[in-house]
């Protein structure tokens, strides 16, 4: 890796990876703060701030921001997640100073004008409405809300119409000054970038960022609870998501969980895809995933099917979970590792993907992780470790179920939980 790291005197961390064969640079600012860092009365403010950052500064109007970056053929965007927020750009190498200037401007000099805020609230209300009309979004929001009931980590990132409508410019500034501090921010660039020059530009333009507070905010520890939430809707298909408490990024079984998710439902050759979709034709979409957070995680299986197929679908899915706790083949591990390795190497060919990967690793581990080190961690995963993990994940934790659509034929949660309460496959029949 041609990666260089500099920690500026302000506490801001600058990281670059030079890719000299390119003519472009992907760069951005990643903040170790997201919707989970909101207080009880700030639900949705992290996402609102991300929008408002583009709505005008002391030197630029919202239109100026858009035109200046697009006048040079560049792109500018942002994203908010549960634990992070990012603002990023991609430009030709000659326009890196402009991109740095715009990113610094929107993060240090935003006006949060009342009229712009009013308009942007309306835009976000439409976004919330669109999400509520999209079953694929609804099912994941409901899942998090019940799995982490009553906790900030379980709340939808967008907020609610009531909370969004109530925010003031002062509240946005308070959230920003509390969370956008130099100790939690990483400026990363990948592509045709010179590290020393980039550091000078960042140091000059980001000089007014808030410094590390004397008492950094402390996150509420996540408590996975599990549960059952169902929403009958007049739809063509039923969306079902069953999941369990996964592993945090720093836990020993994190990478093992990633491999297990890949084997179960990570592609067309995975167990669930082959058995549920190809062999039985019970759904048009089925996959498994594992999401890690700083202190917990989610391991889930999502399927979309016709309501009439639900009585057959759930027993087959649960049967595959039982089988995973009994037998994993070395060939499956090798295939999963090959897929992860390919993703890592392909990501290195994209400066945007590489910048994002470096930023995430800096926030999670405090350093970039070389690909060979990542693969070494995966090499230590054995069939025995995977079957042991599957047994603990699927049968020793409380499941969470969320379902949306024509779900009247979905088995009661008590029956599904009973089928998951023991590794004995005889109990799986109860889930039908």
What per-residue confidence (pLDDT) applies to 216? 66
Both 27 and 165 in one domain: the answer is yes
Residues 258 and 314 in one domain: yes
Residues 233 and 352 in one domain: yes
Domain assignment present for 141 = yes
Confidence (pLDDT) at 425:
46
CA gap 418, 93 in Å, rounded? 59
Residue 380: the pLDDT is 86
Which CATH number does the domain housing residue 422 bear?
3.30.830.10
Number of domain units in the chain: 2
pTM of the model: 0.92
Q: Which of 42, 50, 245, 332 is catalytic?
A: 50
**Is there a domain that residue 419 lies in?**
yes
Please check whether residues 246 and 180 belong to one and the same domain.
Answer: no
250 shares a domain with 142: no
pLDDT in the model for residue 371: 85
421: in domain: yes
Question: Domain range holding 396?
Answer: 227-431
Known active-site residue 23: no
Same domain, 9 and 80: yes
Residues 55 and 137 in one domain: yes
Determine phi and psi for 30, rounding to 5 degrees: -110, 130
Residue 211 covered by a domain: no
In a domain? residue 84: yes
Residues 32 and 123 in one domain: yes
For residues 197 and 280, state if they share a domain: no
Separation between Cα atoms, residue 43 and residue 112, nearest integer Å:
18
pLDDT at 344: 87
The tens-digit pLDDT sequence of the chain (432 residues) is 689 999 999 999 999 999 989 999 999 999 999 999 999 999 999 999 999 999 999 999 999 999 999 999 999 999 999 999 999 999 999 999 999 999 999 999 999 999 999 999 999 999 999 999 999 999 999 999 999 999 999 999 999 999 999 999 999 999 999 999 999 999 999 999 999 999 999 999 999 887 766 666 778 899 999 999 999 999 999 999 999 999 999 998 999 999 999 999 999 999 999 999 999 999 999 999 999 999 999 999 999 999 899 999 999 999 999 999 999 999 999 999 999 989 888 988 999 999 999 999 999 999 999 888 888 888 889 999 999 999 999 998 899 999 999 999 999 999 999 998 765 544 444 444
Does 329 lie in the same domain as 389?
Answer: yes
Task: List C-alpha distances in Å: 392 to 181, 231, 247, 336.
Answer: 39, 29, 12, 21
215 located within any domain: no
Residues 185 and 263 both lie in one domain: no
11 falls within a domain: yes
184 shares a domain with 249: no
CA dist., res. 104 & res. 276, Å (int): 49
| Residue 216 lies inside a defined structural domain of this protein | no
Of 172, 205, 238, at which residue does a domain stop? Answer: 205
Last residue of a domain, one of 146, 174, 205: 205
């Amino acid at each position: 890796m041609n990666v260089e790291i500099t920690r500026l005197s302000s506490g801001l961390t600058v990281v670059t990876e030079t890719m000299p064969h390119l003519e472009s640079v992907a760069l951005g600012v990643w903040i170790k703060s997201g919707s989970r860092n909101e207080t009880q009365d700030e639900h949705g403010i992290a996402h609102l701030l991300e929008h408002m950052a583009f709505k005008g500064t002391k030197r630029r109007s919202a239109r100026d921001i858009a035109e200046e970056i697009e006048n040079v053929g560049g792109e500018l965007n942002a994203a908010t997640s549960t634990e992070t927020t990012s603002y990023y750009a991609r430009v030709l190498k000659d326009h890196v100073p402009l991109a740095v200037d715009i990113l610094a401007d929107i993060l240090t000099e935003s006006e949060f004008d009342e009229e712009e805020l009013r308009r942007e609230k309306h835009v976000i209300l439409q976004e919330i409405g669109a999400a509520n009309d999209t079953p694929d979004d609804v099912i994941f929001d409901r899942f998090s809300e019940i799995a982490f009931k009553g906790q900030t980590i379980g709340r939808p990132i967008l907020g609610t119409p009531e909370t969004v409508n109530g925010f003031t410019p002062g509240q946005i500034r308070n959230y920003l000054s509390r969370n956008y501090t130099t100790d939690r921010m990483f400026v990363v660039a990948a592509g045709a970038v010179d590290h020393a020059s980039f550091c000078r530009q960042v140091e000059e333009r980001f000089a007014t960022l808030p410094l590390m507070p004397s008492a950094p905010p402390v996150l509420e520890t996540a408590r996975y609870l599990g549960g059952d939430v169902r929403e009958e809707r007049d739809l063509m298909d039923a969306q079902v998501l069953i999941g369990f408490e996964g592993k945090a990024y720093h836990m020993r079984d994190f990478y093992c969980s990633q491999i297990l998710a890949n084997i179960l439902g990570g592609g067309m050759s995975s167990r669930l895809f082959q058995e549920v979709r190809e062999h039985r034709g019970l759904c048009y979409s089925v996959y498994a995933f594992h999401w890690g957070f700083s202190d917990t995680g989610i391991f889930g299986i999502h399927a979309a099917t016709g309501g009439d197929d639900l009585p057959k679908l759930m027993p087959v899915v649960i049967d595959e979970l039982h089988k995973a706790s009994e037998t994993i083949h070395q060939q499956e591990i090798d295939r999963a590792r090959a897929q992860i390795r390919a993703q890592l190497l392909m990501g290195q060919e994209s400066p945007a993907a590489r910048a994002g990967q470096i930023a995430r690793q800096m926030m999670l581990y405090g350093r970039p992780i070389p690909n060979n080190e990542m693969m070494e961690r995966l090499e230590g995963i054995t069939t025995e470790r995977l079957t042991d993990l599957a047994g603990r994940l699927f049968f020793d934790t409380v499941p969470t179920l969320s379902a949306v659509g024509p779900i009247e034929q979905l088995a009661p949660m008590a029956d599904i939980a009973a089928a998951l309460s023991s590794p004995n496959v005889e109990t799986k029949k109860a889930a039908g």
